[in-house]
Amino acid sequence: MRRLSPVLSLLLGTLLSGLCFGQSQAVLPTSSQEEWAGKEIGVMITLDLNVYVPDTYRYETRSTLPSVSVFNPSHLNTDQWIRSAREAGARYAVLVAKHGTGFCLWPTREHGYSVKNTPWEGGQGDIVADFIRSCKKYGVKPGIYYSTGSNAYYGNHNGTFDSPDSVGIYNKMVLAQLKELYGGYGKLFEIWYDGGVTPSAKGGISDEVTQLVLRYQDKAILFQGPAACSNLVRWVGNENGKAPYPMWSRADTTTASNGVVEIKGLNGNPDGPIWCPAETDVPLRLNSAWEGGWLWHAGQDSTVRPLRELVDLYYSSVGNNTNMILGMVIDTSGRFPERDSTAFSQFGKEIARRFAKPIPTTGGSGKEYTLSLGKFPVTVNQVVLSEDISRGENIRQYAVQALMNGQWETVATGISVGHKRIQAFKAIKTNRMRLTIQQSEGTPFLKSFAVYDVTENPL
């Protein structure tokens, strides 16, 4: 991430504090950002027309777009999608309402390339509405993905138009569709802007999108949303599930990437002017699968990531102070495939098993915390730290020590903590553990210092 000059950083911080209604001089999360961090795991659900014609459609060629007549899933069941998401431990879900083809999963009034002109449900169906109802049924917070910068149906290929004269028509259509989505389906938990939103100063619609958000969805989390909004979260820089470390919730600016090219160094900035934490997006299927693993393709069940890898990715995302959002493919029948669903269930059970029962835990304020594990030494091999982020992100360096043979021995060290930091280390036996905050910005406030003995199951 390119760092801003001190003057620009100050100006940006002033602008955002004035427009975003949530940032204070101390740079704290909004209530929405704090709630979002606590959810930890989400899912992204993708179903688009190209799964029906995988061998002929090309995003850059509008003439290869499939007819809406190909869309007629025989067993579409949003309850099954969200039930599987819950089994994975997901507490929020983002539906891709419109992906690269431009096909809309709701009956938009703006054009005919949507479910209303398909054989499915006789043209009377609305997948967005079904998704929202299923989320409410299973206690999962609903979100919507809508990329403003790519739509093959309108000849827009990641900001490059077939006809420059159509830009104004396209922008008007996008704003109308966002109004339908933001104003027609109740409160959304997270809104995804894949590729960000082009600033109005550069011919884009960021100002208009900001006004729509403030009018309809002012509490929603905005992934790569317009910079003049609150509740921003940023991209982690890759789609392989691994957040860089250290990872700070504060940053100099948000991101505006479509995820095609990996960007290194998006660690954030502990002294950044905005609270803009990172979200780690990774498909359940391998990135080498069709369309990067984000969309279904026949014969690729073997690309579902094994349980061991999913657990490791949890540690490298949630355990590195980001949220983890797992990609779900929906097949041509309208279902989340059985093998994928089994992987979700196994993953959710394994994470719950590992972290359900800490040996002891403590918290508070200050720079030193000691845990008594009992009269006799017990086995310990993992530590989980959590700051009280409502008071900021104040820890800059720390060390975890265990009392062994009458001496304090260091078993883990680190820099950033934020909402959650998980570290595994070689198993030891001890009856006392100590956390020392070696550097901090002001007084550190610790929500939790917990230790675990995580037994490894054959995964």
Q: How far is CA 401 from the centre of its chain?
A: 32
pLDDT band at 444 (very low <50, low <70, confident <90, very high): very high
Query: Which two tokens mark 359?
Result: 């040996």
The CA dihedral of 282, 283, 286, 292, to the nearest 10 degrees, is -100
Helix or strand or coil: residue 358? coil
Element (H, E) at 68: none
Task: Write b or e for each residue in 155-166: b if 16 or more Cβ atoms lie within 10 A of its Cβ, otherwise e.
Answer: ebbeeeeeeeee
Asked if pLDDT for residue 281 goes beyond 70, the answer is: yes
The H-assigned helical ranges of 144-222 are 167-184, 206-216
Q: What would the pLDDT profile of 204-258 be if each residue is shown by its tens digit?
A: 999 999 999 999 999 999 999 999 999 999 999 999 999 999 999 999 999 999 8
In the chain, the percentage of residues whose pLDDT exceeds 90 is 87
Strand partners, 90: none
Query: Which two tokens mark 361?
Result: 């835990």
Asked if pLDDT for residue 263 goes beyond 60, the answer is: yes
Q: Which CATH architecture has domain 6-355?
A: Alpha-Beta Barrel (3.20)
Q: What would the pLDDT profile of 101-147 be if each residue is shown by its tens digit?
A: 999 999 999 999 999 999 999 999 999 999 999 999 999 999 999 99
Q: What is the CATH number of domain 361-452?
A: 2.60.120.260
pLDDT: which is higher, 160 or 403 = 403
Helix or strand or coil: residue 455? coil
Q: What would the pLDDT profile of 31-54 be if each residue is shown by its tens digit?
A: 999 999 999 999 999 999 999 999
Secondary-structure percent of the chain, ordered helix, strand, coil, rounded to 5:
30, 25, 45
d(CA 10, CA 32): 24
Give the start-to-end residue ranges of the domains of the chain. Answer: 6-355, 361-452
Do 6-355 and 361-452 agree at the fold level?
no
- Residue 427 confidence (pLDDT): 97
Which string of DSSP letters, residue by residue, matches 294-355? Answer: TS--TT-GGGBPPHHHHHHHHHHHTTBTSEEEEEEE--TTSS--HHHHHHHHHHHHHHHHHH
pLDDT, averaged across the chain: 93
Q: 271 with 394: CB under 8 angstroms?
A: no
- Residue 2 confidence (pLDDT): 33
Q: What would the pLDDT profile of 381-419 be if each residue is shown by its tens digit?
A: 999 999 999 999 999 999 999 999 999 999 999 999 999
Asked if pLDDT for residue 201 goes beyond 70, the answer is: yes
Q: 317 with 42: CB under 8 angstroms?
A: no
Is the previous residue joined to 246 through a cis bond, with omega within 30 degrees of 0? Answer: yes
Q: 113 with 119: CB under 8 angstroms?
A: no
**pTM for the structure as a whole:** 0.93
Asked if pLDDT for residue 333 goes beyond 90, the answer is: yes
Q: 178 with 188: CB under 8 angstroms?
A: no
Task: Write b or e for each residue in 335-373: b if 16 or more Cβ atoms lie within 10 A of its Cβ, otherwise e.
Answer: bbbeebbebbbbbbebbeebeeebbeeeeeeeeebebeb
Query: C-alpha distances in angstroms, 370 versus 232, 363, 374?
Result: 35, 10, 12
Region of 419 please: left (phi>0), alpha (psi -120 to 50) or beta.
alpha
- Taken as a whole, the chain contains a residue count of 459
- Residue 25 confidence (pLDDT): 57
- Residue 292 confidence (pLDDT): 96
Strand partners, 421: 320, 385
Backbone angles phi, psi at 275, to 5 degrees: -90, 110
- Residue 458 confidence (pLDDT): 66
